[in-house]
A and B are shown apart, each in its own frame.
Chain A
Amino acid sequence: MFSKQKPLWGKKKKLKSSYDVVLIGGGLHSLATAYFLAKEHGITDIAIIEKNFIGFGGAGRNTAIVRANQRTQHNIPLYKEALDLWPVLTKDLDYNLMFNNCGNLNLMHSEAAMKAARMTISTAQFHGVESHLIDAKDAKDLVPALNISDDITFPIHGAMFHPPGGIVRHDAVVWGLAKGAAEKGVEIHQQTEALAIGTNNGKVTSVTTSGGVINTKQVLISAGGYSAGLINGMLGIKLPISVLTIQAMVTQPLKPLLNHVVSSGAYHCYANQTLKGEIATGAHMDPWPNYTNLSTAHFIKHQAEALCEFLPCLQGVRFMRIWGGLADMTPDMAPILEGNNHIDGFFMNCGWGYFGFKSCSSAGKYMAEYMATNECPDMLKPFALKRYEEHKLMGETAALVNYSPDN
């Protein structure tokens, strides 16, 4: 990471004393925002301030699944655009993002779940996103490894099939966006910690970092799971967020057997086969907020049990690696995108929960528009913080620890 080799995003530069825009956090949302600010709005005097290294957090810890079959009318267009952007970015960045649009198969294990799926599918179809309801036999035709017998804990009743979704190599997106942004003049400062945001008369004036003070009029906190703590710590703005560690793991590499992303709400498990052959699987969230990023024996057991039931051919396969990352969960499973609200020049992009990866391309694009024009694009208007105070929570299924009976 910090070897003598010149990285794709250019040589290490000295931190200047002023920038037009400072982005706190070196994850995908920051990188995408910087890239689109430079590409579409001609703003190139940008510093990305990253405490560790780019892609250290959620960007390198998610399970790389992308899809646009969320539940509400506000969310779907944002994720649809993100999905549509993968081939465009691959071309524009001239970088192989390894987008494998293999489709997502979301298993349903009860008639109630089938009914819920019908609603979700209708919303997707209304917004022009391909999504179908299929029965268990069709699901078995798509993924022959599935166990559709009745003698498992949660027998499969059917599935929601969403062909445009799939997997994108998350590290490639980090490197590609970093390269693309740097080519346009964006500076990426790794191992630099943002310590404070200076304000004067309700306006942003500076950002204090471990590398010195930067004068700036615009700052974005887009630091994944660390955002809520930073925003509260630096500016005293509290957010309706709980930060949970979410775990994932991969098996040893196998011959191709899963040509779709398979997920199950009842088993609380999803699985996809990476281009290398490993089965990447995950979904367990710690039922209490924490920043540990650590994995648990409890989860390894749960995951092995779930996979052995609905994908019995995986019995005896070894897990190779397990890891954790942070998910900043909101009560309505939708993000918070705000700007110029509390303080002029201060923007925030957080609360993505475990949807941060699949949304990064479009969220970055619209956040860049927001920062460049100082006007909230229509696409982001539903995601204002004010919605909680107005009791206008979105209808995505909340999975927040102290709100829901499950989890």
Chain B
Amino acid sequence: MALTITCPICGKRNGYEFKFGGEEKGPRPDEKDLTPEAWCGYVHMNNCVAGVQKEWWFHRDGCGSWFTIYRDTTTNFEVEKAEATK
């Protein structure tokens, strides 16, 4: 199913213009006292939610912005933040 993504600069565009940048995992962990487990968690581990998740996108064939959106992985539809974090 086709996907549209709303870029904060360019507005709603075809999903194929964008590159998926991974699930939002919070800030990069501090390198001080960083364990292999924590680093692996940040780099590789995913929640794999069947439902709404916060995720990163890159407007590759457009303005080049990196931004986050909320999307329902079972429908591919974007979800408003107010709705997603209710």
Contact = CB atoms under 8 A, between A and B. Distances in A.
Contact of B48 (A239, A287, A288, A298): A239
Interface string B3-44: 100000000000110011110000000000000110011001
B63 interface: no
Which of A228, A288, A298 has the largest number of chain B CB atoms within 10 A? Answer: A288
Nearest to B37: A389
Contact of A287 (B19, B49, B74): B19
Contacts of A391: 36
A240 B19 contact: no
Given A289-B73, A290-B73, A296-B1, A389 B46 contact: no
A263 interface: no
A246 to B, nearest CB: 13
B74 A238 contact: no
B3 to A, nearest CB: 7
A242 B19 contact: no
Contacts of A288: 3, 15, 20, 76
B21 to A, nearest CB: 6
Interface in A262-296: 286-292, 294-296
Nearest to B16: A298
Nearest to A294: B1
Contacts of B47: 229, 232, 238
Nearest to B72: A290
B82 interface: no
Contacts of B46: 228, 238-242, 289
B45 A292 contact: no
Contacts of B22: 402
B2 A296 contact: yes
B73 A291 contact: yes
A229 B40 CA distance: 18
Given A288-B3, A291-B74, A240 B44 contact: yes
Interface in A354-396: 388-391
Closest 8 CB pairs of A and B: A240-B44, A294-B1, A238-B45, A228-B48, A288-B20, A389-B40, A402-B22, A229-B48
